[in-house]
Structures are given as C-alpha cells and as structure tokens.
A and B are shown apart, each in its own frame.
Chain A
Amino acid sequence: MRLNQLDLIRYGRFRDRSLVFPRPKDGQPDVTIVFGPNEAGKSTAFEGFLELLFGLKGGEHRYAFGAMKRADLLVGAELDLPGRGPTVLRRNGARTGSLMDKDLRPVDELILTAHLHGLNRDAYETRLSLNDETLRKGGAAIAKADGDLGQLLHAGVSGLSGMAAALDGIVRRADEFYRKGARGTALRRDKDRLIQIARDLRDRRLTPEKDKALRKARDAAETVFREKDEALSIARKRQAAGTAAATWHRISGEIGGLEHELQGLPEGPDLSPGTADRIVKLDASIEEKAVRIAELKQSIDGHRKTIEDNPPDATAPSLAIEITQLEDMEFDGAKLLSRADTAKSDLETRIQERNTARSALETAARGIAAVGASSESLVLTDMEIDALGEAAQGCIDAERDLADAEEKRDAAKEALGEEPERPQDLSALEAARNAYTEVADLSDVAAALRLARQQAEESAAGLPEGWRACVAAGLPAEETLNACATALAGCVSRMATVEDVLSTLDAAHLQAAEDRAAREAAPTAIDAAETEATRSARDASWHAHRSALDATTADAFEAAMRKDDAARANFMAGADERHQLATARRAEADAKAARESERIKLEALKARRDEALATASRLAEALALPRDTEPAALKARRKDLVAAEKHRVAWESAARKHAEAEERRDGALATLRAAADGIVSGDGDLAALATRALTLRDSVRRDWTAWDGQRTALAGLEADAAGKEAARRRTLAELDRLTRALPLADRTAPSVKAALPALRIVAGHHKDFHRLDRRVDAMARAIETLKAVAGRLAGLLGTAFTETDDPLEVVRIARARVAAAGEVDRARQSAETDEKTETGLLERAEAAVGKAREEIARTFDAQGGADLPALEGVAALKHRDELCRTKHDLETKRLEARAAADRALFEEELALLPDDTRTAALETLVGDAQGERDMARDHRQEARRHHDEAHAAADPSALIAEQAILREALRQGARQAAVCRIGDRVAREALRRLAGERRSTMLDDVRDAFVTMTAPAWTNVEAWTHDQGEKLVGTTADGEVVHVERMSSGTMGQLYFALRLAGYRSFVREAGPLPMILDDIMETFDDARAREALKLCAELGREGQAIMFTHHEHLVELARETVPDAAVLEMHR
C-alpha cells in the first residue's frame, strides 16, 4: 500500500486541504519530508491518515465540537493498493458504512483490511510509526533488555519495547506469591495463618467426639461428688445425733429437780390460762360495785321529787296549732303577719290608681272606634296588631307591583312585530359535507403511488426475472457476505506469502538433500552398521569356504575379506565425514520438516480458500448471480435485491392506500347525497351546493331566534302581571279577615295602617287597669282572714275580741302561753328519763357482785389449799402450774432433740455419755468429710464449666470465613503464579526462537543501519552467545566490545532506531509495503548522525514508503542534501 494523497476535507481545523505524496522516479527512494512549524497540523494529518485506515475513534471525537458534528467529519486519501491500483477513499464519522468511494458511496471495509495484514490501529501505530518519545523509551527499554537478542529483535519487529519490564513484572508477581527459600511471600504468610486458624478451630469446634469426652468427664465428676456428699451427710447426722444425746442427757437432770419441788405444793389440775388474774380482778370488782350501789339509790330519790313538782298545761296545744296556721299565711309575696301593719293604707292607694287607668282607656278608644262601639272591643294583643300592620302594608305593596308589571307588559306587546320565516335542521347535511370534504382530495396518495411504482420499477430494472423468488427464499446476511469475502481475501493473501516461503524451503531442502547425498556417496561416510554387515558377510564366506575348500568359495571369501578390510579402513578414517553426514542428515530432516510444515500450512490455506469459494458460489446462487461471481460483487447484489424488495413492498402499500382512499371518498359522497335530498336543489358540485345552503341557514336562524326571544319575553311579562294581580287579591282578603271583627271607623289599608299607634295605646291602658284591680281585691281578703284567726285565739285564751281590738296583741299573748307550757314539759320529761336509767344501773351492779362471788367459789373446787384466802390460794396454784409447764417443756425439747437425730445413731451416742471429748471428735469427723465433699464439688463445677463453655463458646464462624478466604486466595494465587511462571518461561523460549528466526534476516540490517548512523565511533554490532541465550554487543573503532546496557542513552536510541528500521524491512519483506511514519525522530541526533539516519530513511524508502514529519528547517536542508530526490511538503499554521 502507498499513500498518494491525503485529503483533510473536514477534519480538525482543516477544510479541503490535500497533501500530495509524489511518486518517486524509477530507482529512487520513496521518501517524503512533511515540514511545518509547531501547530501546523502534522499530528492532525497523521491521525487523519490512521482514522481513514481504521475508522474514527469511538465516543466523543476530539474534532467534533461546536457546529462540526461527528457525522460531518470527513477525511480521504488516494491509496495505491496492490491488485487495485490507485483507489480514492473517504471516511466519515458514521458508526457503520463510514468507508466510501470518491462519490461518497459506502464501500466494503475489506478493500482496506485485506491490505493491512491484520494490523489494528494500535498495532499500526506501534509497528509503523516512530516519534521522539518512542525512540527515547525504546532506548531505555534496550537497557532493561540487558542486550537480550530476542527481546531487541521483538522490539524492532513489533515496536513494543517493554518486554523486559513485562517479564520482570510477571516474575515479580509470581515471586510475591511464592519463591523457593524466600520468606514473607503470600504463600508463606497465608499458610502460617491457616495453620494458626486450624489450631484455633480445633480448640473451639464442638465436635461430637469432643462433646462426648466433656460429658464423660462431667458425669464422672458428678458421681464422685455424690459419693462425697453422701459421706458428709452421714458425718453430719452422727454429729447431730451426738448433739441430741448430749441435750437429752442435760435435760433429764433438770427434770429431776423440778419434780422434787412440786412435791411441796397443792395438788389438783392446772388452772386454766388467766384464772389467777381473773380471781384478783373479781375481788377488786366486788369492792368497787358496793360503793356504786349506794350512790345510785340517793340519785333516784331526787328525780322522783322533780316529777311531782311539774304537771302539764292542757290549752297550749290548741293555741300552738292556730298560731302555726297564722304564721303560714302570705300576702303580696310576704308573711301576712309581717305585712299586717301596712295593709290598710296600701289598699286606698291602689283603688285610686285603678280608676285612673280606666279613664285613659276610654279616651284612647274613642279616636278610632266606630260609633257605639265599646272600648273593650278594640283591645288587641301585640301579635294581632303586628299582623294587622303587615297585612295593611302588603296590600299597599301589591297594588304598586301590579301597576309596574302591567306597564312593562303593555310596552313589550307594542314592540313585538310579525313572526319571520322558521329555520330547518341541517346538522346531518353539515356533517356529511364535512366528512366528504376530508376525503375528497386523492392527489397526495395518487402522487405517492406514482412515485412508489416508479421507484419499484427502477430498482428492479437491472435484476433478473426470478429475483423475487430469491428474496422470498431468504437472502444471506450481510455479515455472512463480509465473512466470506474476508476469509477468501485473507486466504489468498496468506497463500501467496506461504507459497513464497515454501519455494524457498523447497530449495533449501533440495540443497540439503544434495549435500547429504554427496556426503553419503563418499566411501569414508560408512557407518558402524555397514562394517558390521561386511564383517558378517566375511564370516559367512569363511564358513562357506571352510566347508567347501574350493576356488570359488576361496575367491568369494577373499572378496568379502577385502571388502570388510576396506570398510573398516574407511570407517576408521571417516569420523569427520560421518559427523558431517549426520549433520547433513539433520539439516535435511530439519529442512524437510520446515518445508512439510509450510506445505501443510499451504494445504490448509487452500482448503480454507476452496471452502470460502464454495461458500461464495452458494451465496452467489442465493443472490441470483452466476456461481463464479466475484465475492466482492455479492454485497452490491444483495443491496440491490434488498432495495428492490423494499421498493416493491412500498409500491404495494401505496396502491393499497390509494384504493382505500377512493373507497372512503365514494362512501362519503353517497352519505352527502342522502343528507342533501329535499334540502339542496340544482345542478353542479353537490358539496358546493350544500355549503351554500348551510351559509343561508345561518341568517334565517339568526332572525327567527331574535323574534322568538322577544315573544318568549312578552309571555314572561304577561305571566308576571297576572301573578301580581293574584298577589294583590290575596293581601286584600287577608286584611279583610283581620279587620272584620274590629269596630274601626275606616277599614281600608291606609286607614288601618294609620290606626295602628292608637290600637297599641288602647292595649297598654287595658293591661294596667286589670293588674290594679286584681291587687285591690287580694288586700281586702287578707285583712279579713287575720281578724278571724285573732277571734279564735281569744276564745281559747278565754278573753273577749271585737272589730276594734288589735288582732296582733291577741296573737302575742297566745304565743307567750304556749312558750311557758313548753318549759314545764321539758323539766318533767328529763327527770323521768334519769330516774329510769339509774334504776336499771342499780339492778345490774347488784347482780354482778353476786356473780363474782360465785365464780371465785367455783375456782377452788377440786383443788387442794381451799382453806387459804382467795388471793393466797391462787398464788400457790399458779406457782405449781408454772413448775409443771417448765417440766413439760423440757420433756418436749428432749424428745424433739432425739426425734431430729437418727435413732440408731442417737442411741449409740447416748450410750457413750457422759464424755467431754465426744463433741470435738464429731466436729473433726464432719470437717474432714466437708473438705472432701467441697473438693469433689469443685471438680464437678470445673467439669460442668468445661462442658458448658464448650457449648457456649464464641462462634468460630469468623475464623471459618477467614479460613475460606485464605484458601481461596491461595487457590487463585497459586494458579496465577503458575500462569506467570509459565508465561515467563514460554515468552523467553519464544524470544530465543525469535532470535533464531530473525537473526539471519534482521541482524545484518541492524548492523548496517547502526554502523551507518554511528560511524566511525562504532564499527560493528553482533550477537554473542551466553549461558542464557544470545546477547547483542557493539564494537567500537578501538576494537572494544561494549555490552548494550553500557552504551550511552543516545547510542541506545540509535540502536533502537536501527532495530525498528530492520523490523520495518522484515515486515515489508513478509507482508508488503505500508507507509512508515517518522515524526521528528532526529531532534537529538547531531548533524552527522542525522544525515546518516536520513540515508537510512532513503534505504527504507527503497522498500516501502517513508514519510517524515519535522518542524526543524535544518533537517529539511539536510534531507535535501542527503536524499536529493526526497519530496518536501510544507504545512503552515
């Protein structure tokens, strides 16, 4: 591939800018210097070239901003492609189909990819471009490679110079996991931790076996404890029995002393509890009650004398009744007695006020009453007067409303004219007209139908007859076509390369075979097996001759002997030849194997090609093409078929839509015709006629609607006037009903309204008169009642009473008489009550004394000592009873002590008493048993604790989880370490192979380039064999051999440049030329070296295309001097 022209059409800041890379003259190197200052766009041009080859980068593109969208970006080039010649291509920012021809029609990516030899953009950049930075990094990487020939040649071929660092990194990661003899590796650390965890888990895990052991220990401890506890219990029982026996022994002595004292006291049963105290209390009570009896007898005599001195008054009860009734009488809201003084004068005043009210009533009634009517007949309540007022006002209002309504009605009647023409209902006609108008126009669908038909016919024009059958059977996918074309192109390209290699290998094998045959032909090439064969032949001839002993066998034996001697002589002399023959045979075998490998590769490629061709034939047939059609043409045919089918379907769809539109239009016209029947007449466009009828309908409807509104309003006014008339009649009737019984002089509504104040005054005076009349009557009746009561009181007192006497004085005398009788009654009744009470007390005191004396006598029945005074006798009996109780208590204690102890042990211990040492001995016995029991208890608690703690121990799940994580880490780490170590091993072996394969083709190129650039300081570069493989060393002009890692950084950069140039040459030899881009790589070179480097670029340009970007003018000048035929392009800011 050669870049003839780069077109930056819409790219970065470039618009329609082209860079033309002129073809060199015959025999001249293809070198173009692109010169421009910084920011001139050299990097943009390089990037544009890469994006043309590989497509625009995904995501947001750096040049797609502002008005320039990604899809607008466009780069192009004219490329000289092997087999196609100059080809103009364009590339835009579309996601698919971005590669186009000069007319911007999409073309297959295969046009480019077939010539890029599998390189992607990254690989192209690393292998086929070089800039100052990569040169510096490459130089540094060479130092790290430690001169390793494989790594250096790999760097030259691939452009990737980090091999040493990569392999170091891989090995370091493996070492971090595990390295023999190393400490602190991840493996060691995690293994140690796993051991620790396993140990902890063993301790903390409660396995069934562990649980069984713990339970066994716990149960054994429990058994021992129970035994010791039983022994302690027995010791304690014996100690308790000893204590009980001692108690028994001591109490028995005390009981003997008590029995002796009881013999001197009276016999008899025990006194009941409290008997002694009771006797003492009875004795004291008898004396106290004798004094009281004397006092009561004297008081009773005093009460009887008071009763005789206060007899009862027989008149007082009647007087009290009368006075009580009088005090209950009321007048004018107060007690009659309290108002009696003022009653007479009040009566006169009220009679005068009553008469005044009567006069005012008569006066007010006379102003409004009819002649001869009484004032009483004009008295009304307030509610009646209010109703009368409302009725009168209602009549006045109704009269006024009726007049207003009649006036409006008459005015409206005059304004209403004649009825205009009535409108018709045209809504159906309007709907039909609208529906028809919507579907009447078919011009759009007709035009669409024409266009679709035209497109369908055009797209199917170049296709064979049966194209629709192909489409119906299903077209192969575009990816299938691409894959087929790619596979075929790849096979063909690869086959050409392999065939070249195979021819070389054939020649090499032929040469090796000839060499081997020549060496085999030499007599000294004989091997040991052949000497053994001649020896065997000689021995056989000898045996034959020995048997026959004739001339023939003798000759044969001689010949065999000579042959054997010659063979042995040749064998002895042919050590070197045999070694060379073996080497030649190995070389032949190697050459044969290499040729065979390449031949198998070629056969496989042919098979893949044939398979791809067969696939292409099937695909062609499926696309209605001849079977031998070029695969590149399949895609276009598929595209044509897809387009034709798409347009055919569109045509059918358009025809269907057109027919549907016609059907809709005809239906709407029929509906319109039916709706217009009887409404529209005349010839012409039915829709226009209908529209005209609808327009006239509007004005008729407006006139009739206005007249109808006026008529409706007049009917409303007439109804209103009639309503008002009815209301007026109702109000007059109501006024008449209310005034029918009233003797008014004038009963019209205005007169009634004017009489309302006078009616209210009449009602007020009538109410005052009747109130005063009722009060006067009540006062007169009260005075009469008081006098009657006073007369009855005087009769009971036995005195006279007249009309002139003061009734209140009689009442006062009667009250005094009643009060005196009450005092006498109270004195007498008190004495009677006291006398009765004290007589009862006297009787009870005398009975109590007798009873006490009887009880004392009963106490001494059946007791000894009855001859003693009561108090002394009781004291003796009480002492006797106390001694008996003490004795009983002691006996109880003694029995209780014995009952609390084991009976047998008690008897044993009692038999040992008296013994002063026995208590101490028993304490020692219990102490020992207690100690042993406590020890067993502690053991039991410890065993229980172990068991319980094992069950309640912290859950080990965290440890188990950590164990699982560590195991997973080791699992993955071990695998990754194995991967790294194998990777390192395989990579180093591959590098050795690379050195072996490439050294013959590249090492000379490297040496030539390096020496050319660095002469005269350096005279040679060669590979030295070391223990670990071959290493590159340089030779100075002084003959000193310098290892690569000891070269200066500048020299290393130049060595790296030399390697890359050699790599490029190697690539071109294998895959064919691709443009090599050199971006200001000679900045750090001095002029002499830059000049030599430019010469190398010229060499590079003889095999491919070299494009060198620079912003250094002096490098341009140097280039013009060094490579006179180099083209120079200038770029400006």
Chain B
Amino acid sequence: MRLLVSADIHLGSPIRSLALRNSDLAERLGDASRETFRGIVDLAIDENCDVLVLSGDIFDSEQADLRIRAFLVSQLSRAAAAGIQTVLIRGNHDALLDHRQHGELGDSIHLLRRGQASVDIAGVSFHGLSFESAHEENSLLPDYPAPVADRLNVGLMHTSLGGAVGHDPYAPCSEPDLMAHGYDLWCLGHIHAPSERHADGCLAVMPGIPQPRDFGERAGGSVTLVDLGPDGPRFERRAVARLVFREKHLDLDACETQQEVFTLMRDTLSALGQDGRAVAVRLIAATERFPEHALLDMAAEVLEDIDGVFIDKVRAAPPAGRLDPAIDDFVRLMREEMCRSAVRAAAEQIVRDIRAVLPADLQDDLATTDLDDLREDALAEVHLEIRMGGGA
C-alpha cells in the first residue's frame, strides 16, 4: 500500500515575508497554501497512492472561512474520484473540521475521532483521535486502540512529542512509548520541521509543513511518501512548496567598492532558484562598510536581472572580532554604556514606547527581554553607519 503523508497544511494562512512586497510574487503566492495542497493531491494521483493521510492542522485557526473548508472537500473529492481514500484527524487549528457543526466531509474521507477511532482500508487498519480543544496537556496515546493482530496498523496523531522549539506543548507524548505501542507506522503532525524515526520495525513520520510561511519554517516544504511492504515501511520525501526560504552568508569584508559587492551578490543570488521554485533569501552580510539599508537597495537592483529569487531580509554586521572593545575605543565605551543601569532603563523605555504604538497583536514580538540582542544590533548599526559615512 502506498500512502502520501502530510500535516500542518494551515490552509489559508499567508506567507509572512517581505519578499512578497514584490507584486509578481505576491500574485503568484497570495494563495500559496491552497495551491500547495492542490499540488499534494496531484502528487497523490500521479504516484498512484492508495491513501492520503492528513495528521491535523489542515486549517488555520486565524483563517476560519467556510470557503476554505469547501476547497478542502473539493480537493479530497477529486482524490476520491481517482480512487484515493483520505484518512485525517483534527489538530489544534481544525475547528472547521467539527463534523457536528459542519457535517461529514464526504465518501472515501474518514475523519477519525473518539467513537470512530479506526477504519480498515484494503486490509490496513488506520487509528487516530481528533482533538476536542485547542490546548491538550495530556498524552492521548493511552486512548489509542490496541493494534489489530495480523494486520498492518497505522496511527495518526497530532502531538508535540517531547517538545520542539517554536511549538507549543500539545498533547505531549514520549517517543519511546509511541514507538512501542505496536503500530507499524505513525503519521504525526504539529511540528513544522520534517523528521523520521525508526525503532523496532516501527516508522514514525513527521512530514512537516508543506508550504513554509516564514523563514523560521524553512526546514519544511515537503510531504512524505510511505510504502507499506512486506519488508516494513519505507519512506521518501517529496518537495511540494511553491516558495522556499534560504539563508546566504556574504563575506563583504574584501569588497572595497559597490561594484565588487554587486558582483558577489549576483554570483551568490543567481546560484539560487535553479529548480523553478521561488526562493525568499535572507542575506547575512559580514561587512564594515555597508549598512543594511544600503545592502537592501543593492540587492534589489541585482535581483532585477534574476528570476525567481526575492529578498526576505538583509542583515549586516561587522566581521567577527571587529566589535572588539580592545581594538576600538568607541566600541568599548558603547559596551560600557550599555551596562549602565540608566542607559539600560532608557533602552527599555524606548522599547516600551514603540511597543505601545504597535497593534496589540504585534506587541509581544518586541519584548524588553530581547534587549541584549537589540543592543548588540544597535552597536553594529552605529558602527556600520559611522564606517559608511565617516571614512574621511
């Protein structure tokens, strides 16, 4: 049996990158999550898959729109018409999958939940539990059905496992317990970076988010094909994202002129975007001459001649060691000032002032707890700006 495993699709959730300030890219990717899901169904059909497995967070709680649900149903119906059955569970974002409020999804689409936790497809038993609330503090593993004897058993679970950076703890579950439950395959969701685990003949697949929405999710961008054969499950990742995020480091220390910077940027950026997918790139430049706003202008000019590559963000910082207080007296003084309580209080006040005028839902993104990072960036900013404008 051949399965296509995906999760954390977050239909309707937008790309969060300034790369989309490019109008062409914005037009292409304004609906990226849905286009990607359409591609996932195409892939399942092309690969002659028997079952499409969706392990939660198909929707995004911030984008509760019934038209997105209609889109999901239309795509899964398309898969059903091609002979592909769908097995899915609700994740913490999936209020739109509430069958009591919105009804069943259709024939050949199996929403597993309490009271209907298992379904048998072509001799393979699929087990799963859907979540009833947006926060689940306890492991759901004890509630999962025991494996059916003399059959292949596949489990679907939305879980943060033992915990992951950037993800809320959600239905935490010990990985050894999971692998020892007796199933042959676990199809997991919730963590957006893809991963696979093997133990005692059991395979656990965390397929990750198929369309990364921001730089932090750049590890995602794929789904996982699983073959359930006599030799145990085998997997293969397939890229499906319309847009990928990349990070590139530029050492501009040796560049004395803007022309040299242009050349290095062009060489670096033109090497990206070779596989036809759009690339949002974060440039990390080591330089003592060019602050971020100047590099951003130069990168924009370079990218006019390069298709498919867009700037997500530019960060500039002096090369390692250049902000050494032992070398630069002014750097020393700035560092000492930063440690003074009065200056520290002033910096906190600056952050509070700006936080206060931000929209309420963005205020948490600028925290006084980030003050050390802000001050380091401030030091680099001042240093670069003086070097840029003060080479007299």
* Distance between Cα atoms of A770 and B215 in the complex (Å): 116
Note all chain A residues with C-beta closer than 8 A to B293.
173
Given contacts A208-B96, A955-B67, A965-B26, contact A981 B350 (CB under 8 A): yes
| B230: interface (CB < 8 Å) | no
B260 and A983: CB pair below 8 A? no
The smallest beta-carbon distance between B16 and chain A, in angstroms, is 5
Q: Which of B12, B256, B354 contacts A977 (CB 8 A)?
A: B354
- Which of A155-163, A538-546, A847-855, A874-882 binds B? A155-163
CB pair B381 A971 closer than 8 Å? no
Segment with Cβ contacts to A, from B46-54, B131-139, B383-391: B383-391
| Contacts of A45-70 to chain B: CB distance below 8 A | 57-59
On whether the beta carbons of B18 and A982 are closer than 8 Å, the reply is no
B306 within 8 A of A: no
Contact A978 B366 (CB under 8 A): yes
Q: Mark B194-230, 1 if CB is under 8 A from A, else 0.
A: 0000000000000000000010000000000000000
- Select one of B15, B214, B387 contacting A961, CB under 8 A: B15
B333 and A990: CB pair below 8 A?
Answer: yes
B385: which of A157, A166, A957, A972 is its contact (CB, 8 Å)? Answer: A166
Whether A211 pairs with B66 at a CB distance below 8 angstroms is: yes
B181 adjacent to chain A (CB < 8 Å):
no
A953-B374 Cα distance, complex, nearest whole Å: 44
Cβ-based interface call for B327 (8 A): yes
Please determine whether A968 and B392 come into contact, CB atoms closer than 8 angstroms: no
Report whether A206 and B387 are in contact in the complex, using a CB–CB cutoff of 8 Å. Answer: no
**Which residue of chain B has the shortest Cβ distance to A980 in the bound complex?**
B381
Q: Are B333 and A994 in contact (CB under 8 A)?
A: yes
Q: Does A551 contact B (CB under 8 A)?
A: no
| Dominant secondary structure of chain A at its interface with chain B | helix
A194 interfacial contact with B, CB 8 Å: yes
Check if B390 sits within 8 Å of A970, measured CB to CB: no
Please name all residues of chain A whose beta carbon is closer than 8 Å to the beta carbon of B358 when the two chains form the complex. 187, 970, 974
B347-387 interface mask toward A, CB cutoff 8 Å, 1 = contact, 0 = none? 10011011101110010011000000011011101100111
> For window 106-163 of chain A, which residues contact chain B by CB distance below 8 Å?
117-119, 122-123, 126, 133-134, 137-138, 141, 154-155, 157-163
In the complex, residue of chain B having the shortest beta-carbon distance to the beta carbon of A144: B389
CA A371 – CA B292 in complex, angstroms?
Answer: 134
Centre residue among A207, A967, A986, A993 by max chain B CB count within 10 A: A986
Q: How far is the CA of A224 from the CA of B63 in the complex (A)?
A: 35
Point out the residues of chain B lying under 8 angstroms from A157, CB to CB: 329-330
- A970 and B338 alpha carbons, distance in the complex (Å): 26
**A989 CB-CB contact with B under 8 Å:** yes
Residues from chain B with Cβ under 8 Å of A972 in the complex: 18, 313
Are A166 and B351 neighbours in the complex by a CB distance under 8 Å? Answer: no
The one of B14, B254, B392 that contacts A134, using a Cβ cutoff of 8 Å: B392
Interface centre among B101, B102, B374, B378 (most CB of A within 10 A): B378
CA distance A194 to B381 in the complex (A): 29
CA separation between A502 and B147, bound complex, in Å? 76
Per-position 1/0 for A28-54, Cβ under 8 A of B: 000000000000000000000000000
The reply on B334 being an interface residue by CB < 8 A is yes
Report yes or no: B337 in contact with A993, Cβ–Cβ below 8 A: yes
Q: CB within 8 Å of B: which of A937-982?
A: 951, 953, 955-958, 960-965, 967-972, 974-982
Residues in chain A near residue B326, CB distance under 8 A = 118, 490, 494
The answer on a CB contact under 8 Å between A122 and B338 is no
A58 to B336, CA, bound (A): 35
Docked Cα-Cα span, A979 to B378, in Å, equals 5
A169 at the binding interface (Cβ < 8 Å)? yes
B359: chain A residues at CB < 8 Å are: 191, 194, 967, 970
Q: Which residues of B contact A490 (CB under 8 A)?
A: 326
**Nearest opposing residue in chain B for A212, CB measure:** B101
How many chain-A residues does the 8 Å CB contact rule pick out?
79
Smallest Cβ-Cβ distance to B324: which chain A residue: A118
Asked whether B14 lies within 8 Å of A964 as measured between CB atoms, the reply is yes
Contact of B66 among A154, A207, A979, A990 (CB under 8 A): A207
Is the beta-carbon distance between A990 and B347 smaller than 8 angstroms? Answer: no
* Cα A951 to Cα B375 with chains together (Å): 50
Minimum Cβ distance to chain A for residue B153 (Å): 34
A706-754 contacts to B, CB under 8 A, are: none
A207 touches B329 (CB 8 A): no
> Is the pair B382, A986 in contact by a Cβ cutoff of 8 Å?
yes
User: B12, B65, B324 — which one has the most chain A CB atoms within 10 A of its CB?
Assistant: B65
Most buried by A among B16, B20, B382: B382
Looking at B27-35, B158-166, B232-240, the stretch in contact with chain A turns out to be B27-35
Question: Does B64 sit at the interface, judged by CB under 8 A?
Answer: yes
The answer to whether A166 touches B382, judged by C-beta atoms less than 8 angstroms apart, is: yes
A985 at interface by CB-CB < 8 Å: yes
List B contacts of A951 (CB < 8 A): 66-67, 70
Q: A163-B386, A494-B326, A965-B18 are in contact. Are A983 and B254 (CB under 8 A)?
A: no
Q: Give the number of residues in B that approach A within 8 Å (Cβ atoms).
A: 72
Chief secondary structure at chain B's binding surface: helix
Query: Is the beta-carbon distance between A170 and B385 smaller than 8 angstroms?
Result: yes
B340 at the interface (CB under 8 A from A): yes
Which residues of chain A come closer than 8 Å to B334, judged between CB atoms? 986-987, 990
| Minimal beta-carbon separation of A53 from chain B (angstroms) | 15
Indicate whether B125 reaches chain A with its CB closer than 8 angstroms. Answer: no
Cβ-defined contact, A960 with B63, below 8 A: yes
Nearest B residue to A134, CB-CB: B392
B343 CB contact (under 8 Å) in A155, A165, A965, A985: A985
Say if the beta carbon of B270 comes within 8 Å of chain A: no
Chain A residues 776-797 with CB under 8 Å of chain B are none
Binary B-proximity of A153-188 (CB < 8 A = 1, otherwise 0): 011011111110111011001000010100000010
Q: Say how far A600's CB is from chain B's closest CB, in angstroms.
A: 14
Instruction: Check if B354 sits within 8 Å of A957, measured CB to CB.
Output: no
Residue interface bits A1022-1050, CB-to-B below 8 A is 1, else 0: 00000000000000000000000000000
**In the complex with contacts A160-B390, A967-B362, A961-B378 CB distance below 8 A:** no
When C-beta atoms are compared, the residue in chain B nearest to A981 turns out to be B350
- Chain A residue numbers with a CB within 8 Å of B390 are 141, 155, 158, 160-163, 165-166
By CB atoms of chain A within 10 A, which of B66, B358, B392 has the most?
B392
Measured between beta carbons, the chain A residues less than 8 angstroms from B333 are 990-991, 993-994, 997
Question: Distance (Å) between the CB of B34 and the closest chain A CB?
Answer: 7
A965 touches B378 (CB 8 A): no
> Nearest chain-A residue to B376 (Cβ)?
A979
Cβ contacts under 8 Å, B343 to chain A: 985-986, 989
Complex Cα distance, B340 from A166, in Å, reads 23
A956 to B13, CA, bound (A): 11
- A58 to B256, alpha carbons, bound, how many Å? 10
Q: Are B20 and A961 in contact (CB under 8 A)?
A: yes
Q: Which residues of B contact A969 (CB under 8 A)?
A: 18, 21
Whether A957 contacts B34 by the Cβ 8 Å rule is yes
Which residues on B sit within 8 Å (CB–CB) of A165?
A: 389-390
Would you call A960 and B392 a contact (CB within 8 A)? no
Query: In the bound complex, do residue B362 and residue A206 qualify as a contact, i.e. CB atoms below 8 Å apart?
Result: no
A506 vs B362: C-alpha distance in the bound complex, in angstroms? 52
| Chain B neighbourhood of A979, CB < 8 A | 374, 377-378, 381
- B26–A955 CB distance below 8 A: no
Q: B95-134: which have CB < 8 Å to A?
A: 95-96, 101-102
Closest to B385 in A: A166
B75 at the interface (CB under 8 A from A): no
The answer to whether the Cβ of B288 comes within 8 Å of any Cβ in the partner chain is yes
Cβ A160 vs Cβ B337 within 8 A: no
Supposing A59-B260, A162-B391 touch, asked if A961 and B350 sit within 8 A by C-beta, the answer is no
5 more A-B residue pairs beyond the given contacts A957-B12, A979-B374, with a C-beta to C-beta distance below 8 A: A162-B389, A163-B386, A955-B31, A960-B14, A967-B16
A-B contact pairs, 21 of them (CB 8 A): A122-B387, A126-B391, A166-B382, A956-B65, A961-B15, A964-B14, A965-B16, A965-B20, A968-B16, A972-B18, A979-B378, A979-B381, A980-B378, A982-B347, A983-B382, A983-B385, A986-B347, A986-B375, A986-B382, A987-B334, A990-B330
Instruction: Enumerate the 8 nearest inter-chain pairs by beta-carbon distance, A residue then B residue, closest first.
Output: A162-B390, A137-B392, A162-B389, A983-B378, A118-B327, A160-B390, A964-B14, A990-B333
